[in-house]
């Protein structure tokens, strides 16, 4: 099962038919995806399931209905075991950004972290899970697939938020501060922390 976030509300891609209780179930083959996304953005639908029988094909089917934007990002730890966060649009987030032509996704993730935070000397430790969310740009909905990497660095210089990306603050956060930041973050970011050992 895949979890795609639309305005921080879950849209599950599933090959199981579940009895509806607090959500709506749609057939991926026939759903008017734009209409459903619009309803989720306008808070008319809080949670939905998209059903398709073949789990291996389910994401491919969704990609046929909505354009994809590919991004790379980093969950970066320093020598003290603190994690690197950025603050923009009133929420704590992790540095990430779109892939550029001819770039591989690892390079995208490294470049974006450095551009958005000013942190250098980054090394990828391991690949983390991908996250999925739908956003609107120039009047068109897109599915953003973000490839996340755990990174480490011994950088201890100045942190510089990329102003033209609307980043107001960049900070190294310890375990308690991470918990606090996650209470004002995005569901995708919380999901990422659920799957990594954050309390090192």
pLDDT in tens, 164-183: 999 999 999 999 999 999 99
> What values do phi and psi take at 62, rounded to 5?
-65, -40
> What values do phi and psi take at 76, rounded to 5?
-105, 130
Q: Same domain, yes or no, for 59 and 75?
A: no
Question: What digits encode the pLDDT tens for the residues 45-77?
Answer: 999 999 999 999 999 999 999 999 999 999 999
Domain membership of residue 200 (yes or no) is: no
Q: Same domain, yes or no, for 105 and 188?
A: yes
Question: For the chain, what percentages of helix, strand and coil (3-state, to nearest 5) are there?
Answer: 25, 40, 35
Whether the predicted pLDDT of 188 surpasses 80 = yes
Q: Containing domain of residue 116, as a range?
A: 70-195
Where residue 156 sits, what CATH number does that domain have?
3.90.79.10
| Total structural domains within the chain | 2
Q: Same domain, yes or no, for 85 and 154?
A: yes
Single residue among 17, 47, 65 that ends a domain in this structure: 65
Single residue among 65, 92, 112 that ends a domain in this structure: 65
Using the structure block, give the residue that is written with the tokens 């704590």.
92
């Amino acid at each position: 099962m895949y979890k795609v976030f639309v305005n921080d509300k879950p849209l599950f891609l599933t090959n199981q038919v579940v009895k509806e209780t607090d959500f709506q179930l749609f057939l991926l083959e026939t759903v008017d995806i734009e209409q459903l996304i619009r309803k989720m953005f306008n808070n008319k639908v809080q949670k939905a399931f998209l059903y398709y029988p073949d789990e291996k094909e389910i994401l491919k089917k969704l990609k046929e209905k909505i354009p994809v934007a590919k991004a790379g990002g980093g969950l970066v730890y320093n020598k003290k075991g603190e994690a690197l966060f950025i603050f923009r649009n009133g929420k704590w987030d992790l540095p990430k950004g779109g892939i550029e032509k001819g770039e591989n996704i690892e390079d995208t993730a490294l470049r974006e972290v450095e551009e958005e935070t000013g942190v250098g000397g980054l090394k990828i430790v391991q690949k983390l899970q991908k996250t999925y969310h739908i956003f609107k740009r120039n009047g068109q909905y897109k599915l953003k697939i973000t490839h996340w990497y755990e990174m480490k660095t011994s950088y201890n210089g100045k942190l510089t938020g990329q102003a033209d990306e609307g980043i107001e603050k960049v900070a190294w956060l310890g375990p308690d501060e991470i918990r606090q930041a996650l209470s004002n973050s995005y569901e995708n970011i919380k999901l990422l922390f659920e799957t990594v050992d954050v309390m090192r």
